[in-house]
Amino acid sequence: MKRTACCYCRYSSDKQQQQSIDYQLDKIQEFCLKHNITLLHKYIDQATTGTNDNRTDFQKMIEDSQYAQWDYLIIYNYSRLSRNVEDQMFYQKLLRQRGVMVISVEEKFDSSPEGDLFNLITAGINEYYSKNLAKRSFGGVMQNARKGLAIGGIPPLGYEVGKDKKYVVNEKEAEAVRIIFSKYAEGWTYNQINRFLNENGFVSKKGGEFRGHFVDTLTNRKYLGEYVFNKTSKESSRGSRKYRDKNEDEIVKIEGGMPRIIDEKIYSYVQHRLKYARALHRKPARLTKYLLSGILVCGICGFAYNGASSFPKRLKKPNFYYRHYRPHKDLCKYDDIQSKHLDSWVMKFVIPRLFDYEKIKELQSTINSQVIEIKDHLKLKLGTLYSDLELMKVDLKDKTDSIAEAKMTMFIIDEIKDLKKKIQLKNKEIESENRKLQELEKITLEELKYYLKSRRDQMKRIESKEDLDNFIRETIGKIELTKETIKVYLSYDRILNKLTGQFIKVFEQSKAEVVIIGKELSKNIIENGIDISLNQTHQKEEEFGQK
């Protein structure tokens, strides 16, 4: 059930900044939006002093509260009610008797007003005022931010500051930004992107060459037209500067607050790629010798298979294989598999079949039948999550009621805080599962063609071991080994540029067969590396592009 509220704002002429009422209202509306509360009425008193109670709207609010249709009175802070703590308590008690709970947006009294009121009293009035003043002066900067105005510093690549202090697009730079996003999405490395920009006459914000990485650019939400201010604060610890995200409510975010340069779809795809790249970064080097490390996992316990080597004297050359390093006792102690057999099977058997235009419809239906299965599974899971949530809410209501009946102990307050945290987490989980469910759609033939074509394009650009490594990681989601079979999965996120976290099985073959095929295919492989001759897969190129 949606809850209702009224709010009360007061502006007193002494020592306060101009936009005070605006700022209070802003904060209050933001709070209501966040907590799904409907604001029914606004009471506002302008330019009177707070030392007496001759405040028209305040009196009216107290009067109206007798017949209140609202559950809450929301105020910016407690000094809005009265400067006098005794009065504050009086009005709070009065309102509570009339079924209205007072919430202060700034002081976070929302979680348990009574509990925090104790703190308020003990904290003392002096401290209270000084804290308040500090908040107010910061409020002025925030107010500018709320209007979407530039606040110091060099604007990000693609923007400059216009006459009215708002951000405007610098077309040439914006083009560079679009190039950075689209090339990165296509699988280019930072070095390749840098070279491309420098060779095509683009210059960095400082007027020089582009170099280094583009993480800051690729994660800047301003390019989505979202004005963000105060996102991070600098903390220095032992000489190194660390950035820490601030609390949600200290961050100003205005959607559409500045001109947009990048569209949502490519932005979210890039975020996913970045996340993936970071995960890859933690597994260093030894690139192509073990082509599949990082995507090869045990089908039973989910742990990785890693590259390993031995040097048997009789062979006179090293032997490279994949090994399950942390098997689950009794469950999965599997044999090693020679890396060149498995790598060859993937490169020369699986990938050509994946790219086979004749079988694209078959692949489509394989994918879509799994999408339906996964959706059904997600729906079941959501059902359970929702019923968990309901139980928690009932529990919370019981506990809150006992506070209203003045049976409170510090104990209960802690329990309520705890419960609220749990509810918040549960809500987040539901949100994320719901998002997956919404994102998860069947693939169309067009989408599948587009995806496969882009994979083939990337394959054509393979020039180095690193390129090959990237190609494999972009194309194959994961490979599962069990005692009998080997299963190849694609990452559905990569296919659809979405965040569903799902894998789709596209190949399954017995391990014995894989070894036989792999042995055969690896015969003419050059020592110490994978042959990336792609003749088999190039032949149907034209059909692919045209249809």
For Zn ion, the binding residues (CB under 5 A) are: 298, 300-301, 327-328, 332
Sign of CA dihedral 353, 358, 361, 365: negative
Indicate the residue among 296 and 468 with the shorter CB distance to Zn ion: 296
Indicate the residue among 260 and 323 with the shorter CB distance to Zn ion: 323
Indicate the residue among 148 and 327 with the shorter CB distance to Zn ion: 327
DSSP single-letter state for residue 162:
-
Q: How many CB atoms lie within 10 A of CB 305?
A: 26
Cα 396 to Cα 158, 301, 335, 390, distances in angstroms = 49, 38, 53, 10
Least gap, CB of 305 to Zn ion (angstroms): 9
Strands 252-255 and 226-229, by their bridges, are antiparallel
DSSP single-letter state for residue 349:
I
Identify whether the C-beta of residue 306 lies closer than 8 Å to the C-beta of residue 323. yes
Query: Measured in whole angstroms, how far is the alpha carbon of residue 91 from the centre of its chain?
Result: 42
Least gap, CB of 505 to Zn ion (angstroms): 18
Say what angle helices 360-404 and 410-439 make with each other, to 10 degrees.
160
DSSP single-letter state for residue 11:
E
Least gap, CB of 489 to Zn ion (angstroms): 16
Q: How many CB atoms lie within 10 A of CB 347?
A: 27
Least gap, CB of 334 to Zn ion (angstroms): 7
Q: Which residues fall within 8 angstroms of residue 167, CB to CB, at 6 or more apart?
A: 148, 150, 155, 159, 160, 161, 222, 227, 258, 259
Least gap, CB of 486 to Zn ion (angstroms): 14
Indicate the residue among 299 and 529 with the shorter CB distance to Zn ion: 299
Least gap, CB of 444 to Zn ion (angstroms): 36
Sign of CA dihedral 348, 349, 351, 356: positive
Indicate the residue among 297 and 419 with the shorter CB distance to Zn ion: 297
Least gap, CB of 480 to Zn ion (angstroms): 10
Indicate the residue among 296 and 347 with the shorter CB distance to Zn ion: 296
Least gap, CB of 328 to Zn ion (angstroms): 5
- Closest residue to Zn ion, judged by C-beta, is 298
Identify whether the C-beta of residue 98 lies closer than 8 Å to the C-beta of residue 69. no
Indicate the residue among 244 and 329 with the shorter CB distance to Zn ion: 329
Least gap, CB of 296 to Zn ion (angstroms): 11
Decide: helix, strand or coil at residue 427.
helix
Nearest to 337 by CA among 287, 303, 298, 286: 298
Indicate the residue among 482 and 533 with the shorter CB distance to Zn ion: 482
Indicate the residue among 155 and 327 with the shorter CB distance to Zn ion: 327
Indicate the residue among 314 and 329 with the shorter CB distance to Zn ion: 329
CA distance 476 to 293: 12
Decide: helix, strand or coil at residue 440.
coil
Least gap, CB of 481 to Zn ion (angstroms): 9
DSSP 475-526: H--EEEE-SSEEEEEEEHHHHHTS----EEEEEEEEHHHHHHHHHHHTTTPP
